[in-house]
């Protein structure tokens, strides 16, 4: 077996072990449950992702475990973390634009050098407070809170918390305006 193939296989075993530990699963039954839950979540996500009906998309995301408030609007093609949807909380009256992405984890999946070094799997909640607008193409990373009535501009990459009543732009996102209230 080549060194590359061995490293890759070990990386995938480690990823599975990390997920099993996170969910409190063990043994063959745990592996089966993990895979079943992932497939179920993926099906719900796939239905939500391409739906032009916001209410249906929200219902599918809730079935995955995403916490979503009232009167929200999801455009088609919203990507919400496929592995940890239960770590995403969305308040009332939130808008998610097409191709916005919310990632509750980061993980150098196939690179054991990085994974075992300074870049292990990071898993943390995302909290989008009421009234926030996440415009098309914006990316929200793990551990971030988006403030109440804040606006994330199109294509912004948010790696740090955004205070209430702010407009952010860019990669990395930075505050460009405070919204008067």
pLDDT digits (tens, 9 = 90+) for 146-164: 999 999 999 999 999 999 9
What's the rounded Cα separation, in Å, for the pair 16 and 121?
12
What's the rounded Cα separation, in Å, for the pair 59 and 48?
8
Q: Which residues pair with 152 in a beta bridge?
A: 134, 168
Total domains present in the chain = 1
Secondary structure string (H, E, C) spanning 33-68: HHHHHHHHHHHHHHHHHCCCCHHHHHHHHHHHCCEE
- Say how far residue 168 (Cα) sits from the centre of its chain: 19
Determine the Cα angle at 128 with ends 122 and 130, to 5°.
Answer: 165
Phi, psi of 90 (to 5 degrees): -125, 125
User: Shortest CA distance to 99 belongs to which of 62, 64, 137, 156?
Assistant: 137
- Say how far residue 34 (Cα) sits from the centre of its chain: 18
Cα end-to-end distance, the chain, whole Å: 63
The model carries a pTM of 0.90
User: Shortest CA distance to 119 belongs to which of 127, 132, 128, 110?
Assistant: 110
* Per-residue pLDDT band at 2 (split at 50, 70, 90): low
Q: Range of 37's domain?
A: 3-178
CATH of residue 16's domain is 2.160.10.10
* Per-residue pLDDT band at 116 (split at 50, 70, 90): confident
Q: Percentage of the chain with pLDDT > 90?
A: 79
């Amino acid at each position: 077996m080549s060194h590359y193939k061995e490293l890759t296989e070990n990386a995938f075993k480690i990823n599975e072990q990390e997920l099993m530990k996170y969910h409190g699963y063990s043994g063959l039954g745990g592996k089966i449950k993990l895979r079943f839950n992932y497939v179920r979540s993926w099906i719900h996500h796939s239905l939500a992702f391409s739906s032009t009906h916001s209410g249906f998309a929200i219902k599918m995301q809730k079935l995955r475990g995403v916490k979503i408030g009232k009167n929200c609007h999801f455009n088609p093609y919203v990507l919400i973390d496929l592995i940890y949807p239960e770590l995403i909380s969305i308040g009332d009256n939130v808008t998610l634009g097409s191709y916005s992405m919310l990632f509750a984890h980061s993980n150098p999946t196939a690179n054991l050098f990085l994974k075992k070094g300074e870049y292990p799997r990071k898993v943390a909640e995302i909290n989008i407070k009421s009234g926030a607008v996440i415009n098309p193409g914006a990316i929200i990373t793990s551990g971030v809170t988006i403030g109440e009535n804040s606006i994330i501009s199109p294509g912004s990459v948010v790696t740090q918390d955004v205070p209430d009543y702010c407009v952010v732009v860019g990669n990395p996102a930075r505050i460009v305006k405070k919204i008067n209230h």
